[in-house]
């Protein structure tokens, strides 16, 4: 089921009432790090997915305290640290992880997931047992687990693009939230946070600008250095944007060899960033490989992509990244560094700039000049450029009454996405009547959120929800490890994330210059054309992909009125009208694209995980036999 | 004008509500109930221009003209009156011909 996550070896540990299994992608201590790993007296066992980047420092400390190591792996460091600190051990880890520790002395299971949710971890209860895994498909292999859609989670995806943990798209299958740990003892489950992202105090400038720059340079340089720890070669994604160029430039400082870099180019010219990529490759002197992706490529791999995302998506953007990781793996690499996270922690996304302009405009709604700023934000969006001011004002919620809304930054995105819910069948609409995903989101926000600067509120929503729930999962871990490639993200080193959270917002976005402090810090390493290029968001071919070349067989089948009716989630006649628009070439809007991709991916989830899913599997059989024997 | 109003209603329901008219009324504001997004407005203008052979100026792209079936019908009537032609669609013209 999850061999793609760890094709190099697998291992099982079974004790009375517990079974741990591991599929390993060998990166550190290739010959010695077999899992599950245990402590000196074999009373504590771990199965671990991820990396602990500060493992050498922790190992030194633990050796000093008398621990005896059997391997040179980062995995074993967690075991001994747990012996020292118990469940508090996670506070000392700098890395990306999902692990399970079986403490035989306390007869307690301890699960933990990294602070920002780079690595996935899911669990459920069945027949008195707790069942956990890195991917939901492993849990579904268990014969006692039900497979059913969670309609509230579907409503969340068709509002926010992500599910709110512990929801997953499947009923009773829970996601351990980022920055949380879980203990399971005597049949009781206890989930607790061990880390918070806190923007309190960020309005005060406690350092000079140059001091912020110095600290930022030091932290990102060290974060990158730590993420080069590996016993296999490390490459990098180079998108043509600022963030991956900075990471690549920093890697070059530490590596004598010519760095291998990888990128996606798009056949549709309006999406393509190849010229910027080539410029970065030339300047940074990397050995670069590129994959070219068009509409038909997205359609061809989309079912496989959904098998890995394990949830519906409203943009097809993960598909090209799935193809990119294939290129990396075929190039002989299994670890890449990326620039992911910079846009969240330094406020680089358009949504931050958009919110600032909307707020500025809403204060003087009659101003023509302020309206023009919004048009300048999206020079590549031809349809938007043609809109009259009064319509722009409505679409972007730039009205005085919206300013005090704590979700001001995200209202346009959520309103637009919510329109996909119009396709729900009457039965689904009836069963969701009265459910409000916003209330559930509010319940997950820290109390301090409502007192933070609006820029920080937007950052919190992006960093704590969209980042783990979509960017790092559907566009990250899931499509990279689909081809056994591990992604590492220097910008998501928790020390840097915490430092950036305390930085005044006007250093992140100076007037309308996004990532100002990041640009100032690293401009000596890069040409001005990369540092100061207009920001272009990563966009990929969407709905049209499924209608190029006369249509795609699986899409025709899954979207046929009879199938839509049988599955019961969407209204068959509404879906038929949508398809009519696409076939006639009249579907030109983002809403139509999101609806098509959202509906098709939901149908694929139903087909692959509910209708045709095969339970059982050799791993469960082996585990059950071993548990019974011990 | 009844036929044009029915045509406009059909266009809006098919393209923006995907055939689900529910409780949608002819005086409902498109903006208030959120059924037209930024590209939807362009689709609507494109339909009016092509289907009725009228030309819409940028200054006319205001909610007072385009924000409900009733307003659309009135706007269309005024545009066609300017051309002094009977209120029929191109399709009807072709059928009649």
Tell me how far apart the alpha carbons of residues A389 and A458 are, in angstroms, rounded to a whole number.
24
Domain total of chain A:
4
Does the CB of B14 have a partner CB in chain A at under 8 Å?
yes
Q: Which residues of B touch A577 (CB under 8 A)?
A: 14-15, 18-19
What contacts A41, CB < 8 A, 6 or more positions away?
none
Choosing from A168, A195, A222, the residue where a domain stops is: A195
What contacts A372, CB < 8 A, 6 or more positions away?
none
Tell me how far apart the alpha carbons of residues A474 and A497 are, in angstroms, rounded to a whole number.
21
Tell me how far apart the alpha carbons of residues A273 and A241 are, in angstroms, rounded to a whole number.
9
Q: Same structural domain for residues A170 and A309?
A: no
Does the structure show a pLDDT above 70 at A60? Answer: yes
Does the structure show a pLDDT above 90 at A197? Answer: yes
At residue B43, the pLDDT reads 87
At residue B97, the pLDDT reads 43
Q: Which residues of B touch A380 (CB under 8 A)?
A: none
Q: Same structural domain for residues A84 and A179?
A: yes
Per the model's pLDDT, the better-predicted residue between B31 and A230 turns out to be A230
ipTM of the complex: 0.79
Beta bridge partners of residue A124, listed in sequence order: A131
At residue A472, the pLDDT reads 98
Q: Which residues of B touch A586 (CB under 8 A)?
A: 15, 43
User: Sorting pLDDT into bands at 50, 70 and 90, what band is A621?
Assistant: low
Does the structure show a pLDDT above 80 at A573? Answer: yes
Q: Same structural domain for residues A175 and A290?
A: no
At residue A83, the pLDDT reads 97
DSSP A476: I
pTM of the model: 0.93
A19 is in which domain, residue-wise?
Answer: 3-195
B39: domain CATH number is 1.10.1200.10
At residue A620, the pLDDT reads 58
Per the model's pLDDT, the better-predicted residue between A498 and A390 turns out to be A498
DSSP A90: G
Cα–Cα nearest to A26, from A81, A86, A71, A93? A71
What contacts A354, CB < 8 A, 6 or more positions away?
A374, A377, A396, A409, A412
d(CA B61, nearest CA chain A) in Å = 6
pLDDT over 70, % of chain B: 85
Choosing from A475, A507, A531, the residue where a domain stops is: A531
Nearest to A574 among B19, B37, B62 (CB): B19
CA angle A81, A76, A16 (to 5 degrees): 90
pLDDT over 90, % of chain A: 79
Q: Which residues of B touch A386 (CB under 8 A)?
A: 42
Cα–Cα nearest to A3, from A27, A22, A18, A29? A22
d(CA B67, nearest CA chain A) in Å = 10
Residue A630 belongs to some domain of the structure: no
Nearest to A383 among B19, B42, B61 (CB): B42
Each residue's pLDDT tens digit, A516-525: 999 999 999 9
Q: Same structural domain for residues A357 and A294?
A: no
Residue A155 belongs to some domain of the structure: yes
Q: Are A467 and A341 in contact (CB under 8 A)?
A: yes
Tell me the residue length of chain B: 97
Nearest to B38 among A395, A422, A423 (CB): A395
Each residue's pLDDT tens digit, B38-56: 778 888 998 999 999 999 9
**B10 vs A29, A159, B16, B18, B19, CA distance in Å?**
67, 27, 10, 10, 8
Does the structure show a pLDDT above 80 at B12? Answer: yes
Residue in chain B nearest A590 by alpha carbon: B39
Cβ contact, residue pair B37, A388, below 8 Å: no
User: Sorting pLDDT into bands at 50, 70 and 90, what band is A118?
Assistant: very high
First to last CA, chain A: 25
* 3-class secondary structure per residue, A430-443: HHHCCCCHHHHHHH
Q: Same structural domain for residues A334 and A360?
A: no
**Mutation for testing the B interface, residue in A354, A375, A394 having most B CBs under 10 Å:** A394
Cα–Cα nearest to A530, from A298, A289, A267, A248? A248
Q: Are A219 and A496 in contact (CB under 8 A)?
A: yes
Residue A619 belongs to some domain of the structure: no
Residue A295 belongs to some domain of the structure: yes
Backbone dihedral region of A211: left (phi > 0), alpha (psi from -120 to 50 degrees) or beta?
A: alpha
Q: Same structural domain for residues A251 and A391?
A: no
Beta bridge partners of residue A110, listed in sequence order: A101, A183
A247: helix, strand or coil = helix
**Mutation for testing the A interface, residue in B12, B19, B39 having most A CBs under 10 Å:** B39
Cβ contact, residue pair B19, A591, below 8 Å: no
Where does A91-186 show beta strands of DSSP type E?
95-103, 108-113, 122-126, 129-133, 174-175, 180-185
Q: Same structural domain for residues A173 and A282?
A: no
Nearest to A388 among B14, B17, B62 (CB): B62
Q: Are A350 and A501 in contact (CB under 8 A)?
A: no
pLDDT over 70, % of chain A: 97
On average, the pLDDT of chain A sits at: 93
At residue A555, the pLDDT reads 95
Q: Which residues of A touch B35 (CB under 8 A)?
A: 419
Tell me how far apart the alpha carbons of residues A93 and A46 are, in angstroms, rounded to a whole number.
15
What contacts A479, CB < 8 A, 6 or more positions away?
A305, A308, A309, A318, A319, A321, A322, A325
Helix/strand/coil percentages in chain A, nearest 5: 50, 15, 35
Q: Which of A450-454, A468-472, A478-482, A537-541 has the lowest mean pLDDT?
A: A537-541
Q: Same structural domain for residues A365 and A402?
A: yes
Residue A33 belongs to some domain of the structure: yes
Tell me how far apart the alpha carbons of residues A46 and A22 are, in angstroms, rounded to a whole number.
9
Each residue's pLDDT tens digit, B56-96: 988 898 889 999 999 999 999 999 988 765 555 555 555 54
Q: Same structural domain for residues A341 and A359?
A: no
| Count of CB atoms situated within 10 Å of the CB of A78 | 27
User: Sorting pLDDT into bands at 50, 70 and 90, what band is B23?
Assistant: confident
Q: Same structural domain for residues A509 and A549?
A: no
| Count of CB atoms situated within 10 Å of the CB of A329 | 17
Q: Same structural domain for residues A367 and A301?
A: no
Domain total of chain B:
1
Residue A554 belongs to some domain of the structure: yes
A60: domain CATH number is 3.60.20.10
Quick one: CA torsion of A456, A461, A466, A472, rounded to 10 degrees? 50
B40 is in which domain, residue-wise?
Answer: 2-96
Q: Same structural domain for residues A302 and A249?
A: yes
Over residues A180-201, mean pLDDT: 96
What contacts A313, CB < 8 A, 6 or more positions away?
A157, A161, A306, A470, A474, A597, A598, A601
What contacts B90, CB < 8 A, 6 or more positions away?
B50, B51, B52, B53
At residue A628, the pLDDT reads 57
Does the CB of B26 have a partner CB in chain A at under 8 Å?
no
């Amino acid at each position: 089921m999850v061999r793609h996550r760890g094709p190099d070896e697998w291992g099982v540990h079974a004790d009375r009432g517990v079974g741990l299994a591991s599929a390993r992608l060998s990166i550190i201590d290739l010959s010695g790090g077999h899992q599950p790993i245990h402590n000196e007296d074999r009373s504590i066992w771990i199965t671990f997915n991820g990396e602990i980047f500060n493992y050498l420092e922790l190992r030194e400390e633990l050796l000093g305290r008398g621990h005896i190591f059997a391997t040179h792996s980062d995995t074993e460091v967690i075991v001994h640290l747990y012996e020292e600190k118990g469940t508090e051990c996670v506070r000392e880890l700098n890395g990306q992880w999902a692990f399970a520790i079986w403490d035989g002395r306390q007869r307690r299971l301890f699960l933990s997931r990294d602070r920002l949710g780079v690595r996935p971890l899911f669990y459920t209860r069945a027949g008195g047992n707790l069942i956990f895994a890195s991917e939901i498909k492993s849990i579904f292999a268990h014969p006692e687990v039900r497979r059913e859609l969670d309609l509230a989670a579907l409503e969340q995806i068709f509002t926010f693009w992500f599910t709110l943990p512990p929801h997953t798209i499947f009923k009773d299958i829970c996601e351990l939230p980022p920055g949380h740990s879980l203990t399971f003892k005597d049949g009781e489950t206890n989930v607790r946070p061990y880390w918070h992202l806190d923007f309190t105090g960020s309005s005060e400038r406690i350092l000079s600008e140059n001091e912020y720059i110095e600290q930022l340079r030091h932290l990102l340089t060290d974060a990158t250095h730590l993420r080069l720890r590996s016993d296999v070669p490390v490459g990098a994604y180079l998108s043509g944007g600022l963030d991956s160029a900075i990471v690549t430039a920093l890697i070059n400082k530490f590596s004598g060899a010519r760095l291998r870099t990888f990128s996606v180019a798009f056949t549709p010219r309006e999406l393509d960033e190849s010229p910027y990529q080539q410029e970065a490759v030339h300047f940074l002197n990397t050995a670069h490989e590129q994959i070219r992706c068009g509409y038909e490529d997205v359609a061809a791999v989309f079912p496989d992509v959904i098998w890995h995302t394990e949830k519906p998506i409203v943009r097809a953007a993960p598909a090209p990244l799935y193809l990119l990781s294939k290129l990396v793996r075929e190039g002989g690499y299994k670890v890449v560094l990326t620039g992911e996270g910079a846009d969240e922690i330094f406020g680089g996304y358009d949504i931050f700039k958009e919110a600032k302009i909307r707020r500025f405009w809403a204060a003087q709604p009659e101003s023509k000049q302020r309206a023009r700023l919004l048009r300048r934000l999206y020079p590549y969006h031809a349809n938007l450029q043609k809109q009259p001011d009064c319509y722009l004002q409505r679409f972007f919620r730039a009205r005085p009454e919206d300013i005090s809304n704590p979700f001001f930054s995200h209202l346009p995105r959520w309103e637009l996405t919510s329109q996909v819910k119009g396709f729900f069948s009457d039965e689904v609409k009836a069963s969701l009547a009265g459910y409000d995903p916003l209330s559930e989101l509010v319940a997950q926000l820290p109390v301090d959120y409502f007192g933070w600067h609006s820029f920080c509120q937007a950052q919190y929503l992006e960093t704590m929800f969209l980042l783990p729930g979509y960017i790092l999962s559907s566009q990250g871990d899931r499509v990279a490890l689909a081809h056994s490639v591990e992604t590492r993200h220097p910008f998501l080193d928790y020390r840097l994330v915490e430092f950036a959270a305390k930085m005044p917002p006007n250093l992140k976005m100076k007037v309308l210059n996004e990532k100002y402090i990041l640009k100032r810090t690293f401009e000596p390493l890069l040409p001005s054309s990369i540092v100061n290029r207009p920001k272009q968001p990563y966009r990929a071919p969407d709905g049209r992909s499924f209608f190029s070349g006369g249509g795609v067989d699986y899409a025709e089948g899954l979207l046929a009125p009879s199938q839509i009716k049988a599955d019961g989630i969407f209204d068959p006649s509404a879906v038929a009208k949508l398809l009519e628009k696409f076939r006639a070439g009249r579907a030109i809007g983002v809403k139509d694209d999101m609806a098509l991709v959202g509906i098709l991916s939901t149908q694929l989830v139903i087909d692959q995980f509910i209708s045709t899913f095969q339970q059982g599997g050799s791993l469960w059989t082996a585990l059950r036999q071993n548990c019974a024997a011990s | 004008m009844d036929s044009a109003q029915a045509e406009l209603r059909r266009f809006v329901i098919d393209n923006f509500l995907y055939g689900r008219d529910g409780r949608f009324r002819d005086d409902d504001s498109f903006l208030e109930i959120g059924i037209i997004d930024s590209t939807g407005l362009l689709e609507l203008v494109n339909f009016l221009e092509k289907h009725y052979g009228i030309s819409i100026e940028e200054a006319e792209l205001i909610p007072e003209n385009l924000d409900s079936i009733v307003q659309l019908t009135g706007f269309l009537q005024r545009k066609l009156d300017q051309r002094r032609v009977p209120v029929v669609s191109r399709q009807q013209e072709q059928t009649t011909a």
